[in-house]
A and B are shown apart, each in its own frame.
Chain A
């Protein structure tokens, strides 16, 4: 397959499937050498473009319906990823996911598709999209590698988390005005397994890809000379954002860890009251009451931790990956510009066929303009998504925490009420929460 081709990696152009950021990589997937695509500015001959998008940004935008509204009032494509299944062959074991598509878009022959895809296929799609739109921001895929602490690659939690992330990935692409029009995307959603295999084999051959890679290396070594201010600003932001979001990711994971340890102790705490109640007469009921309260709080704590793990942790993690994606996009944009600048210099300094070179330079200039505009447009879009996603995740977490404390409060107030209404010397008072 495409394994050997992609074994050539340009050192400065890192893969877009980032390794585990915290440096705690443990189990490596068997095909770890595979997934390191060389993402670069390989658009020189233009045949990377999807046939329908060869020209200016303007015409490109007009190609597809522009979906700003991600709430999806006018959504015309619905994708779900579910139903993971394990497949065992002589060579390997892998998981496939069911990808279900429902759409009214005219580019699709049918209105419904059901296909099975494996992680590799998603990787392929991402690669193709990034090749075709090197300065658009493609939502990250869940990580390739298993994070330290999870031994089983096919562990239930791992698969569930991955499935959700894959689901999000496809839906983000479907929401994207440009990316969703990609032919590769369409094939991914609709082709049967063998059709996809065949389709994947198309595309530029080994040699032209090699050439692109070499050019990319050359450009990145040279560096860009006149980067527009706004992109420098974006780069600085991305750098800072990356730091902050990584921090938040770590902090949140630490909170989950602490909460789980708290839960473990709490589970042992309630029984000490129950045990004691066995030796008491008058106090037995109260002691059992307290034990009961603690037990119920245990359940609530368990739920709260679950919510945190399901809601906040994955989102933060996604944006850690996003930050890396953004860095790569900015690099690619820089490389396009670098190539243009290099050719320009050549024009000025060396004795070459001026007309041919001039033509090339004009094309490159267009490319640069196109790349910049694409990125600018997508940047705003990404920021809005980011704000929406993170705001929603934090809000949901805060809401759940309020709910958690409210439930625990009710548990203890009920107990207190039962104590107060018992015949005692104290005056019976209203319980005002």
Chain B
């Protein structure tokens, strides 16, 4: 998970990692070549607050806003400690930013936002967007999003991104002025359209296949993990009953009383410990969810390639058929069967003037068509080049991040076991003294 290394950043992997390691993580995860925004500017999503306002249908609503803080890095390294610039943004504004980026850089695997609604919810976890734990995790997710975007060699140079971070009020107008909204609509249509591509780049086909698998595999994992979490919760909480009953029982006994009473306390502690354990595990789930959503972005990049390729193929075959038509018209030879050709044969041919007109129209179309094909070919090639680079970058990032996540998970399990050992060792002592 991307990490700012400053105050509100999400902990990775627990107490086994020093600050040095965290720094290294940050550098390795995010620093790209060239000067990305993040090298020049410190960014964080520091706080969350509730606001009330009127929504689009003029009804009162409560929503959460997040405080984005930025500071120029050179000011910090020079030893000054300037106060950060800050502005408030709500989740929907982040969504607009992301949609803009998706449309503007279709060849980039755009980092995803934290989930809109709580999914893979296990029993106790609140599915309520207002729940403080949910809000906190969302804050971390939003910060993560900004850090990823701001450290991306291509995305970080975007002006709209810069405005998003620095101009609270005019930003929405500016972004809508780019006209991205129209492109966004057609993009969605294109993504779901079905068409047959004759010669897609095999690497992209494989990548698309992988993105489908990644989506389904991480989904499944998250679903089962949530069920496991629910069960662990049950086991721990039932032990709380021991606490209560031991305590009551200890009042009856003279000799066993003290031992029972203390053992009861430990059982209460054991039952209570599960809340923190599962909250931490939720962070792990978030790390996996990020890649579940990333899979979608990856898929979109592959689909866009297919679309461009398809457009190129269509333009090419159009051109070929137009050239054929010209040939037929010019030589009078009918290569392929056509209804027009047949009717011409049956009912007489056109006048020479008509033929001339048709020919010149065709010539024009062919010229245009050749331009189109050239354009499309370049578009396709550039797209493939750019997308392939970013997909490689993504792959490396994914491998690093998920490896970190798995290690972090192991660390969490270890921590859970250690707590268990402690509690039950204490309980054992108490029982021994009974």
What is A's interface to B at a CB cutoff of 8 Å? 237, 240-241, 244, 247-248, 251, 254-255, 258-259, 261-262, 265-266, 268-269, 272-273, 275-276, 279-280, 282-283, 286-287, 289-290, 293, 387, 390-391, 394-395, 398-399, 401-402, 404-406, 408-409, 412-413, 415-416, 419, 425-427, 429, 433
B276 at the interface (CB under 8 A from A): no
A57, chain B: closest CB distance, angstroms: 25
Known: A272-B224, A275-B220, A395-B431. A251 touches B245 (CB 8 A): yes
CB pair A290–B406 under 8 Å, yes or no, is: yes
Q: How far is the CA of A18 from the CA of B248 in the complex (A)?
A: 25
CB pair B231–A405 under 8 Å, yes or no, is: no
CB pair A416–B407 under 8 Å, yes or no, is: yes
- Report B-chain residues with C-beta under 8 Å of the C-beta of A429: 16
A309, chain B: closest CB distance, angstroms: 14
Q: How far is the CA of A265 from the CA of B421 in the complex (A)?
A: 23
Q: Among residues 282 to 324 in chain B, which have CB atoms less than 8 Å away from a CB atom of chain A?
A: none
Q: How far is the CA of A244 from the CA of B250 in the complex (A)?
A: 10
Contact of B231 among A241, A261, A408 (CB under 8 A): A261
**Chain B residue with minimal CB distance to A384?**
B255
Which of A276, A279, A394, A406 counts the most B-chain CB atoms under 10 A from its CB? A394
Comparing B67-75, B235-243, B363-371, the segment that makes contact with chain A is B235-243
B334 at the interface (CB under 8 A from A): no
A188, chain B: closest CB distance, angstroms: 34
22 A-B pairs in the complex with CB atoms less than 8 angstroms apart: A251-B241, A255-B239, A258-B234, A261-B231, A262-B232, A269-B221, A272-B221, A272-B224, A276-B217, A279-B213, A279-B217, A283-B403, A286-B407, A287-B406, A290-B410, A391-B431, A395-B428, A398-B425, A398-B427, A409-B414, A409-B421, A416-B407
What is B's interface to A at a CB cutoff of 8 Å? 16, 20-21, 24, 28, 210, 213-214, 217-218, 220-221, 224-225, 227-228, 230-232, 234-235, 238-239, 241-242, 245, 248-249, 252-253, 255-256, 259, 263, 399, 402-403, 406-407, 409-411, 413-414, 417-418, 420-421, 424-425, 427-428, 431-432, 434
A244-B248, A247-B245, A283-B406 given; name 19 further pairs at CB < 8 Å. A237-B252, A240-B252, A248-B242, A262-B234, A268-B224, A272-B217, A276-B217, A279-B213, A391-B434, A394-B434, A395-B428, A398-B427, A404-B420, A406-B421, A409-B421, A412-B410, A425-B28, A426-B21, A433-B418
CB pair A398–B234 under 8 Å, yes or no, is: no
A286, chain B: closest CB distance, angstroms: 5
Q: How far is the CA of A293 from the CA of B413 in the complex (A)?
A: 10
CB pair B221–A273 under 8 Å, yes or no, is: yes
CB pair B255–A387 under 8 Å, yes or no, is: yes
- Report B-chain residues with C-beta under 8 Å of the C-beta of A402: 420-421, 424-425, 428
- Report B-chain residues with C-beta under 8 Å of the C-beta of A390: 256, 434
- Report B-chain residues with C-beta under 8 Å of the C-beta of A293: 410, 413
8 nearest A-B residue pairs (beta carbon): A262-B231, A405-B420, A398-B428, A409-B417, A401-B424, A395-B431, A244-B249, A272-B221
Chain A interface main SS type = helix
Q: How far is the CA of A273 from the CA of B410 in the complex (A)?
A: 13
A271, chain B: closest CB distance, angstroms: 9
A267, chain B: closest CB distance, angstroms: 10
CB pair B242–A254 under 8 Å, yes or no, is: no
Contact of B424 among A241, A258, A280, A405 (CB under 8 A): A405
Q: How far is the CA of A102 from the CA of B259 in the complex (A)?
A: 38
B401, chain A: closest CB distance, angstroms: 10
CB pair B214–A279 under 8 Å, yes or no, is: yes
Contact of A251 among B24, B238, B427, B434 (CB under 8 A): B238
- Report A-chain residues with C-beta under 8 Å of the C-beta of B238: 251, 254-255, 258
CB pair B407–A427 under 8 Å, yes or no, is: no
- Report B-chain residues with C-beta under 8 Å of the C-beta of A416: 407, 410-411, 414
Q: How far is the CA of A293 from the CA of B399 in the complex (A)?
A: 20
**Chain B residue with minimal CB distance to A247?**
B245
**Chain B residue with minimal CB distance to A255?**
B238
Q: How far is the CA of A241 from the CA of B248 in the complex (A)?
A: 10
B86, chain A: closest CB distance, angstroms: 33
CB pair B417–A412 under 8 Å, yes or no, is: yes
Which of B213, B220, B230, B428 counts the most A-chain CB atoms under 10 A from its CB? B428
B79, chain A: closest CB distance, angstroms: 28
CB pair A269–B210 under 8 Å, yes or no, is: no
Q: How far is the CA of A399 from the CA of B403 in the complex (A)?
A: 35
CB pair B255–A412 under 8 Å, yes or no, is: no
Q: How far is the CA of A269 from the CA of B222 in the complex (A)?
A: 9
A258, chain B: closest CB distance, angstroms: 4
